[in-house]
Every structure is written in structure tokens, then in C-alpha cells.
Amino acid sequence: MSIIYHESAREFHLTNGKVSYIMEIMENGQMEQLYYGKAVKDRESFHHLHEEMMRSLMAVSIPEPGILSMQYTKQEYPAYGTGDYRMPAVTVSQKNGSRISNFVYQSYEIFAGKKSIAPLPSTYVEADVEADTLEITLHDEVTDTDLVLSYTIYNDFAAITRSARFLHKGKDAIVLDRALSACVEFNDMDFEMIHLSGAWARERYVKTRKLEMGLQTVQSLRGASSSEHNPFLALKRPNTDEQQGEVYGFSFVYSGNFIAQVEVNTHDMTRVTMGIHPEMFSWELNAGESFQTPEVVMVYSDQGMNKMSQTYHRLYKTRLVKGEWRDKSRPILLNNWEATYFDFNEEKILKIAAKAKEAGVELFVLDDGWFGARNDDYRGLGDWFVNLNKLPDGIKGLSEKVEAMGIKFGLWVELEMVNKDSDLYRAHPDWVIGTPDRFESHARHQNILDFSKKEVVDGIYEMISKVIRESKISYIKWDMNRYMTEPFSKGMLPADQGKMMHKYILGVYDLYTRLTTEFPNILFESCASGGARFDPAMLAFAPQTWTSDDTDASERMKIQYGTSYVYPIVSMGSHVSAVPNHQMYRMTPIATRANVAYFGTFGYELDLNLLGEDEMKQVVSQIEFMKKYRELIQMDGDFYRLVNPFEGNDTAWMVVSQDKSEAVAAFYQRMNKVNASWLRLKLEGLDPEALYEVDYYSGRPDAGVVEVMKAYGDELMYAGIVIDREELNKNGGDFGSVLYTLKKA
């Protein structure tokens, strides 16, 4: 087992040779964390790692002459009010008005495998031998409430998952005002905090800040995980870079309001907490009722940021994503949105699909505008029946015609939203989220359906499942184009309104579960105005996410680079779009647009009928390239970040196969330079003893693939590849790029 309990010392040691996490039961019955980091050898007791001393103004948590203080102890699940003045993991309101709790050790259980926490998504195992789980039960005597802290350690990953479950037994109801998923503490503050923040069209930019005393927080109160702050943070040592040094990652498997917080006290102790945001959250528990928190996935690396990311990539690809598409590379698709927007009919759609088939595209996707009175974004949303004026044979007929061409058919939906100018709203105005006697804010001319109500989820499921059953649909793009305002569920009891935003997310998970269960062969892609809900929980239902509405190749370098800190590149929806780009109005070479999009799901967001002969030849060549290398890029390979776009003019990254026999590497520049200095691209992850054949792929049909050199892996990693600036100029100069393929000779 990877989990050891030392009864005499009352200590738990989770270790798998890659990471160790050590806890003990303290004198007062609460749980203390003694160590988290690189794996250490087990011993009978680690109690010497516990530190305590009397300090001025310190409150003591045990009878005299003891000096144990919660203020200076690294706690597993802290509560405010009994000597600890830092931000807590739990706050429980009680009948008498007290918010003080004291959860003390009662029992433990160690078992092979990992339990599901459904309906919440979480990582999983396929066989019990893959992981071990520890459940520690704590009890608050005054309220008669159990708290179960769950820890799972995977054998093959430096990863530990955390969650908490409350079971209330007392006769008087309690209210959880704060119920976070995990707390981890460190003795020192010698860290830099990494987080992924931005906004629409610039999601998940990498931000780095040195820890200071006080609170450092990222959060969302938008009803979704948000474009503004991703539910992730990492603490790295100041000397840590991509390839060396210590880093601790924290990723939250949840799609709603969250808080990820680092607090440094005035004695340099660092506390990390993560969970559902306590604002707008209150959960009443009566006798016999329970509450389960979502999961936090903690990853440790002593080999830099890239190793942390690779651990998340492999874990999420294989033990978070589920179903048929977990182990399959993605079809090359063409989406009509930027080609037509709402202005289309069946003839136009079939013409675009036919040209896509001619180029080698495997899946055509019909985006917004196919239903109800949907000729613009003011009306029709929520009316999930076909607009027969545009599509006289319906989705059924159109999908059959597209499949008859020899390609698959996909469909766009936005199931959580409604326009007030719709049949659905006129029939069910009470299905919309909004506070009585208050103005209901709208965004993109739409409102949010109240998925905290089962009847709303049932109604949407019945409408959309009918369309799917009748048609030949292989792919669904599930969009969500606004954040939540005036959060209130009409008809819900006043005491339960604090449950509404969490229950909404559970409703989203419920609808996803129903649709993926009934239609297991469909590839779902989640979307939220691009990447406003790119979080691990979504990957449990939809194995890929539209990374950003910004399809500009140069901007996508930053967006995809940041996203790769946590999320596998096979989960990133990435397309080649038209120029001038519809968001940035920028002209970039079609070769660079493809060279960026290769490192994702790959597809097109344009009408190929509008391309010239030379560009069409390039498209055919691009599709052939992606078909040849997509298994390596999306499924088998490990991703390495080589040059950081947030630090200069250039970007580079690569994918290396697990056996190190082949690789694909790309280098991109933003602005061209006159009389510039030499360029060297140093690779990573290769076999230093192996001889590689290095080919340059121009993407230009007239040049094709050209052998550059043969070199050993050590030379390619330590001396690097000399980049030919002439080739950058041929590929556009400004926003030029080069692409290399490597294979063992």
C-alpha cells in the first residue's frame, strides 16, 4: 500500500516513491500536516517535524501546561475561532448563533482504489491497484457532525487528490457557510505564485507574483470557473523554471464559483486553501443529510513546471476524461461560424461541407442559427426545434446529406440559456434565474435558465435529445455565453437560496451525464464564449474545450501556452481561421495559423471555397500532415514548453513520443527583425544517445519536407537547431514560424 499508518506515533504517511505527504493526530485530536514534498523514506515517527513554542498573544488549544497553538500549526482542515486567526477551511453556523467548531480525530480507513463522488466529477481508477485512498473521520461533538477527509495517492503519478464530506447527525440543523476542499501549509514563504488569468479573447495568461505577507487570491463569483481566473494555482521556488526546481500545483475539479487562496502569516508560514467560494454559498444540513465538496488535484514536481504539467496532462487524459473519446485522437473538423455567422441556408452549408470533404476534412460542424427564429442573437435561444425556412429537411435531412458526402456531422447548442423573445420563455418565464422585484441583467441579449430546478433540466433534455435521436450527429459543441447575475431560484425556499449556484452546476453535470450516457459515441466539446469554463470538471464530460474565441494565431500562442500549464493539448480546441482575423483584424500566414493549431484538436473556421488555389493546396498539405502526426501530438506524446511568449518576441514548444523515437517541434516569432542575431532552438525530452533525422516542414506545397540534418539527441538538446531566418521570412516574416519533425535514424 502507498499509505502507511503508524499507530504508536498516530501518523499517516502517503508515499509512492515520487511524493510524500505526512500527517499526525495532535494532542487536541485535530490533524496536523508535518511534511509535503519529494518522497522520503518511511520511519516509525516524524513527530520531530512538529514545532511549537510559547509566543506572546498566543492562544493555547490544550490544558496547561501545554503550549499547542492552532495559530502556528500546519493544519489539515482549519477552523477559525479557537486560536487560529487565519482564513479557515470550514465555517459552521449553529442554532445558538455560534460559528465555532472543533473537528477531532475519530477513526480512519485505508483501502485500495478510489471512490466516486458523483454527481460531482472527479479523477478515477479503472483498477484498485492504481491508487490507494485514506479516509479520516473527524467529529464535532457539540453539533454531532462527522467530517470525512479523503486522500487518494496514485501509484504512477506524483499526484494526491483531496476532498471533504460532511455528515450531520445532530437533531438541530447546521449551516455550512464555508466548506472548502483542501488546505495545505508550508513552513516558509519562499515561493512565487503562478496563476492563469485574463479575460475574453485572452484567457489563461500566465501570471507570476512573489508571495508577500497577507492574502493572495484568485476567484470566480460569476457562476462559472471564468475567463478571468482559472481554478488553478501553483507555488514554485524562485529558482524553478520549466525543467528544474520544485513546484506544487493545485487544480480544482469544479465548474462554478471557486476560491484559490494563499495566505502568508507574519511568521512566514504559507497556507493554501481551495474550494467552493463561500460568498453566495450556504448549505443547511438536517439530521442524516450530507454534503460533498469537489475534488482538488495536487501535483508535486522537483523537475520544474513542465513535469508538473505533464503529470496533469497524463492524469487528466487517462483518469479524468471518460468514454470512447478518451483514447481516440480527434477528427479534423470545419466549423461554419466565422464563414457564415447566422446567414446561411442548406445550399450554402452543403457547398461549404463539400469543399471541406474535398480538402480531407473529416467532420463538418453547423454552428449557431439552425433553430427557432434564430437569425440573430436577439431571439430564438431555447427553442430547440429546427428552423425549416433555413433547413427544409431539418437537421435530420442535412446530417444525412453531409454524411452521404463521406464526412461526419456536428451541431452547436447553448442549452443553459434563453432569449426572452422565444417560445420557451413565453411558456416558462419562471425558468429564468432572477431575483423578485429586481431588474434581471442580460448579456448577449440572453438570460440563464435555472438548472438548479430538475424540471428545467428535464425540459431541455427532452427537446435536444429528440433532435439528436432523429439525426446523424457525431459531435456537439456545447456553448455558454454569459455569466450569472441576480442569482435566485424562483420557488426555492428562502433558506435554500444559498444552495442555488452550486445546485445549478450540479444541474449542468446532470444534463451532461444524461446526454453522454444516451449518446456515448458523440464527441462533446465544451465552450463558454471560448474559454470561460475551461476547467477539469468539464473534461470529465466533454474531452475537449474551445480554448478561446480569439482565433488569431499570434494571440493563440499565449493562450495555448498558458492553458498547457494544466490541460492536455488534446483538450484544446484550435482552428485555422480566415484573415484578416475576425477578432484582431491581423494578417498572419496560413502556415503559421496551422503550425499553432496543430498543437490542439486542429480544424478550420472558414469557408474553403473562398481560398485561392495556392492556399487550398496548403490546406490539403496541412490536413495530410495532421493526419500523419495527430496520434503523436494528441495521444502518445509528452508536451514541452521551450520558449515563453510572455517573456519576449518568440514562442516554441514540442511533443515527444513516450519512447522518444519521434517528435514534432515548432518555433514562432511575432515581429521580424532586421539584421538580426542568430537563432538557436534547444529541444527537450529526447534520448541523448539516439541519432535523429531532423526534417523541416514548410507547409508550402512547393517545398514540402526537407531534411535539415542528422544529430544525436544530446546535441539537439544542448547545442540546439540553427533556425534559418530566411525560412522565417519565406513563411511570412512577421508572425512567421518553422516546424520540425524528428525521427530516430
Domain assignment present for 636? no
Express each pLDDT in 547-583 by its tens digit.
999 999 999 999 999 999 999 999 999 999 999 999 9
User: Per the structure block, which three cell numbers stand in for 338?
Assistant: 466565422
Determine the distance from the C-alpha atom of residue 499 to the mean position of all C-alpha atoms in its chain, rounded to a whole number.
Answer: 24
Q: What is the pLDDT of residues 284-299, one digit of tens each?
A: 999 999 999 999 999 9
Q: How far is CA 496 from the centre of its chain?
A: 29
- Of 466, 425, 462, 469, nearest in space to 446 by CA: 425
Measured distance CA(458)–CA(456) in Å, rounded: 5
Domain count of the fold of the chain: 3
Q: Judge whether 178 and 89 are in contact, CB under 8 Å.
A: yes
The three-state secondary structure class of 615 is: helix
Q: Which of 84, 146, 302, 549 is catalytic?
A: 549
- For the stretch 627-633, contacts whose Cβ atoms lie closer than 8 Å and that sit 24 or more positions apart, written own/partner, are 627/332, 627/360, 629/598, 629/664, 629/741, 630/329, 630/330, 630/332, 630/602, 631/329, 632/657, 632/662, 632/663, 632/664, 633/569, 633/570, 633/598, 633/599, 633/664
Query: Is 513:449 a contact under the CB 8 Å cutoff?
Result: no
For residue 731, what pLDDT is reported?
A: 82
Percent of all residues in the chain with a pLDDT value above 90, rounded to a whole number:
94
Residue type, 582: H
Contact 382, 449 (CB under 8 A): yes
DSSP for residue 188: -
pLDDT digits (tens, 9 = 90+) for 483-529: 999 999 999 999 999 999 999 999 999 999 999 999 999 999 999 99
Mean pLDDT of 90-95: 98
What's the confidence (pLDDT) of residue 649? 95
Find out whether 691 and 711 touch, Cβ atoms under 8 Å: yes
**Residue 391 region, left (φ>0) first, then alpha (ψ -120 to 50), else beta?**
beta
User: Is 574 part of any domain?
Assistant: yes
pLDDT digit string (tens) for 43-68? 999 999 999 888 888 899 999 998 99
Q: Provide the residue count of the chain.
A: 745
Q: Which three cell numbers stand for residue 584?
A: 484582431
Distance CA 614, CA 622 (A): 12
Predicted confidence at residue 707, as pLDDT, reads: 79
What is the Cα–Cα distance from 701 to 703, expressed in whole angstroms?
Answer: 6
Q: Within this chain, do residues 593 and 681 fall inside the same structural domain, yes or no? A: no
Q: Which of 571, 602, 631 is the last residue of a domain?
A: 631
Query: Quick one: which H or E segment has residue 665?
Result: strand 662-669
Tell whether 72 and 108 lie within a shared domain. yes
C-alpha cell recorded at residue 453 = 430546478
Would you say the pTM of this structure is higher than 0.75? Answer: yes
Domain that holds residue 434: 325-631
Cell numbers at residue 211, please? 508571495
Is 496 contained in some domain? yes
Whether residues 296 and 347 share a domain: the answer is no
Least confident of 46-55, 107-116, 261-270, 335-344: 46-55
Nearest Cα residue to 351 out of 576, 607, 619: 607
Q: How far apart are CA 461 and CA 47, in angstroms?
A: 55
Q: How far is CA 615 from its chain centroid? A: 34
- Give the gyration radius of the chain's Cα atoms: 27
pLDDT averaged over every residue in the chain: 96
State the Cα–Cα distance between residues 141 and 143, nearest whole angstrom: 6
549 annotated active-site: yes
How many C-beta atoms surround the C-beta of residue 495 within 10 A?
Answer: 11
Q: What is the CATH number of the domain that holds 59?
A: 2.70.98.60
**Model confidence at 697, in pLDDT bands (50, 70, 90)?**
confident
Task: Write down the residue that cell numbers 495532535 correspond to.
Answer: 26
Are 312 and 331 in the same domain?
no
**DSSP 8-state secondary structure symbol assigned to residue 240:** -
* Residue 202 pLDDT exceeds 90: yes
β-strand partners of 641: 653
327 labelled catalytic: no
Q: Per-residue confidence at 702, pLDDT binned at 50, 70, 90?
A: low
Q: Do 259 and 167 fall within a single domain?
A: yes
Question: Largest Cα–Cα distance of the chain, in whole Å?
Answer: 87
Instruction: Indicate whether 297 and 336 sit together in one domain.
Output: no
Q: Is-contact 723 740, C-beta < 8 A?
A: no
Task: Tell the burial category of 64 from Cβ atoms under 10 Å away from its Cβ (0-12, 13-18, 19+).
Answer: exposed
Answer yes or no: is pLDDT of 700 > 80: no
Dihedral in degrees, nearest 10, Cα atoms 87, 89, 93, 94: -120
Residue 667 CB-density burial (10 A; 0-12 exposed, 13-18 middle, 19+ buried): buried
How far apart (Å, rounded) are the C-alpha atoms in residues 129 and 456?
41
**Residue 642 resides in a domain:** no
C-alpha pair distances (Å), 138 with each of 69, 133, 171, 208: 19, 16, 18, 36
Question: What pLDDT does residue 313 have?
Answer: 98
The pLDDT of 193-199, averaged and rounded, is 98
CA–CA separation, 732 vs 726, rounded Å?
10
442 grid coordinates: 442580460
Final residue in a domain of this structure, among 576, 600, 631: 631
Closest to 26 in 3D by CA, of 53, 58, 50: 50
pLDDT band at 698 (very low <50, low <70, confident <90, very high): confident
What are the angstrom distances between the C-alpha of 52 and each of 48, 61, 86? 10, 12, 17
Residue 167 lies in a domain: yes
Q: Above 90 in pLDDT, residue 732?
A: no
- Tell me: do 626 and 668 sit in the same domain: no
Is residue 644 a part of any domain in this protein? Answer: no
pLDDT score, position 109:
98
Residue 208 lies in a domain: yes
Report the alpha-carbon distance of residue 384 to residue 466 in Å, rounded: 9
Flag whether 641 is in a domain.
no
Tell me the C-alpha distance between 612 and 342, whole Å. 24
Q: Element (H or E) spanning 468, and its range?
A: helix 454-470
Q: Which of 270, 301, 319 is a domain's end point?
A: 319
Residues 357 and 504 in one domain: yes
Bridge partner residues of 680 (DSSP): 722
What mean pLDDT is predicted for residues 657-665?
98
pLDDT at 680 over 90: yes
How far, in Å, CA of 401 to CA of 413, rounded?
20
13 and 104 together in one domain: yes
Residues in a beta bridge with 743:
662, 693
Please state, for a pLDDT cut of 70, what percent of the chain lies above it.
99
Coil, strand, or helix at residue 743?
strand
Q: Are residues 271 and 333 in the same domain?
A: no
Question: Domain check: are 697 and 621 in the same one?
Answer: no
Across residues 225-244, what is the average pLDDT? Answer: 98
304 Ramachandran zone, left/alpha/beta (phi>0; psi -120 to 50): left
CATH of residue 715: 2.60.40.1180
Measured distance CA(41)–CA(22) in Å, rounded: 11
- For the cut 80, the answer to whether the pLDDT of residue 40 exceeds it is yes
Residue 701 has pLDDT above 90, yes or no: no
State the catalytic residue, choosing from 132, 140, 383, 479: 479
Task: Give the pLDDT confidence score for residue 730 in this predicted structure.
Answer: 82
Are 101 and 239 members of one domain?
yes
Nearest to 306 by CA among 210, 229, 217, 194: 194
In contact, 487 and 495? CB cutoff 8 Å = no
CATH number at residue 506: 3.20.20.70
Indicate the pLDDT class of residue 703, thresholds 50, 70 and 90.
Answer: low
